[in-house]
Amino acid sequence: MCNPAGALSGVVVADFSRVLAGPYMTMLLADLGADVIKVERPGSGDDTRAWGPPFVDGEATYFLGVNRNKRSVALDLTDERDRATARAIVARADVLVENFRPGTMERHGLGYEQLRAEHPELVYCSVTGFGAGEGARLPGYDLLVQAMGGLMSVTGEPGGPGTKAGVALVDVITGLHAGLGVLAALRHRERTGAGQRVEVSLLTSLLSALTNQAAAYVGAGVVPSALGNRHPSITPYEVFDAADRPLVLAVGNDRQFTALCACLGRPGLAADARFATNAARVAHREELTAALSDALASRTADAWFEELTAAGVPCGPINDLDAAFTLAEKLGLPARVDLDDPRRPAPAGQVANPIALAATPAAYRTAPPRLGEDTEAVLAELGLTGTGERRERR
């Protein structure tokens, strides 16, 4: 069940992950041709199957959003027979992905060291919240990591308690790091024949993704704080009020600033020593913000957007998701796909894979699976029998 034209065609992934970081990563691999076998608990399956509303035809959109192009196998890892089935799936896999608490896979006989001797070519990817050492006792939920990992300290208004991002951003970032690690390990195996363990944690993925904020700390000992919509190192790089609604300015260099001042009818600001360089503008942020706010309040956001964009000044409105998808469509960027699914009365809407490969593009083969719907087919591929009895035992 692989995509013949996919870049990862022939790669089999045994996916024991659930919720977001692991499933998001394995969906991207599946889009690129990998055969992803999703192993789920009988009866309930992936936690996100129940995370709603919203629901579509009784299924949570949270689950639907990160599980297309996969096959679902329902196995109870506390049952010896199902554990044997799981090991049989792993035996034909190139990659294993799991995000249980450290020690869980070992209790089921599916730990890396337990599998390594028999399957030395296996790429084994473990996603944890806070690592497998002292942090193993901490639950790896995105909100906890946003709080404990510093993201909330630089998000929200100054002096406030911090604000979480509007999506489980740390899970998504970790999934991307994990995917990169898996691809690197597959490349190593291609050269040497040897698999390896890939370990990614939510905490260290977040610290890496904090980029300039983290660099300020490790490089200069600066502990950043929340600045609302302002940038710690660039200005004007924030939200302003136009005559009718908010407008974002993202002025990144002196040329853009000079063009902004000309459009606003305030060319003298660019020559003012307080604002002539970015460092000077940051040092005199309040005075500059006041001057720009007065000028921007004189016209609508759309009027400023047209004029400033034409002048090479980065700016734009604050869109909701409806407007954002509309913008992507207008710009010719594929952001949505609709998958035909005989189980549903209408095509299933999906967010498109953002990776554009000229020769081996992403493919959208199957809608997210119902729980355990592929168990019988996968067991047959593995040459296992007794499937009718298995159904009765459930």
Short-list 304, 298, 302, CA closest to 263: 304
Q: Where among 322, 343, 364 does a domain terminate?
A: 322
Residue 202 phi, psi dihedral angles, 5° rounding: -65, -40
Among 76, 171, 341, 374, which one carries the catalytic annotation?
171
pLDDT per position as a tens digit, 103-139 = 999 999 999 999 999 999 999 999 999 999 999 999 9
Q: Are residues 177 and 299 in the same domain?
A: no
Q: Are residues 122 and 258 in the same domain?
A: no
Is 270 exposed, middle or buried (CB count within 10 Å of its CB: 0-12, 13-18, 19+)?
middle
Whether residue 124 lies inside any domain: the answer is yes
- Say what the pLDDT of residue 57 is: 87
Domain limits for position 71: 12-209+334-393
CATH code of the domain containing 257: 3.30.1540.10
Whether residue 356 lies inside any domain: the answer is yes
Whether residue 229 lies inside any domain: the answer is no
Q: Where among 298, 322, 346 does a domain terminate?
A: 322
Rounded to whole angstroms, the Cα distance separating 353 from 143 reads 25
Whether residue 43 lies inside any domain: the answer is yes
CATH code of the domain containing 179: 3.40.50.10540
Q: Are residues 194 and 276 in the same domain?
A: no
Number of domains in the chain: 2
pLDDT per position as a tens digit, 277-295 = 999 999 999 999 999 999 9
Q: Are residues 298 and 361 in the same domain?
A: no
Rounded to whole angstroms, the Cα distance separating 298 from 271 reads 22
317 upstream amide cis, omega within 30 of 0: no
> Which tokens hold the place of 331?
């710009």
Q: Are residues 147 and 43 in the same domain?
A: yes
Rounded to whole angstroms, the Cα distance separating 83 from 118 reads 16
Q: In one letter, which amino acid is 298? A: S
Rounded to whole angstroms, the Cα distance separating 84 from 106 reads 14
Q: Are residues 383 and 289 in the same domain?
A: no
- Say what the pLDDT of residue 385 is: 66
- Say what the pLDDT of residue 4 is: 58
Q: Where among 322, 345, 364 does a domain terminate?
A: 322
Q: Are residues 184 and 242 in the same domain?
A: no
Residues in the chain with pLDDT values less than 50? 1-3, 387-394
Rounded to whole angstroms, the Cα distance separating 113 from 143 reads 31
Angle value at C-alpha 151, between 172 and 134, nearest 5 degrees:
80
Q: Are residues 254 and 338 in the same domain?
A: no
| 244: annotated active-site residue | no
Whether residue 5 lies inside any domain: the answer is no
Q: Are residues 363 and 304 in the same domain?
A: no
Q: Are residues 140 and 104 in the same domain?
A: yes
Rounded to whole angstroms, the Cα distance separating 154 from 283 reads 19
Q: Are residues 198 and 288 in the same domain?
A: no
Short-list 249, 259, 367, CA closest to 311: 259
Whether residue 252 lies inside any domain: the answer is yes
- CA distances to 53, 151, 345, 382 from 58, rounded to whole Å, are 10, 34, 12, 31
Whether residue 217 lies inside any domain: the answer is no
Whether residue 225 lies inside any domain: the answer is no
Q: Are residues 181 and 57 in the same domain?
A: yes
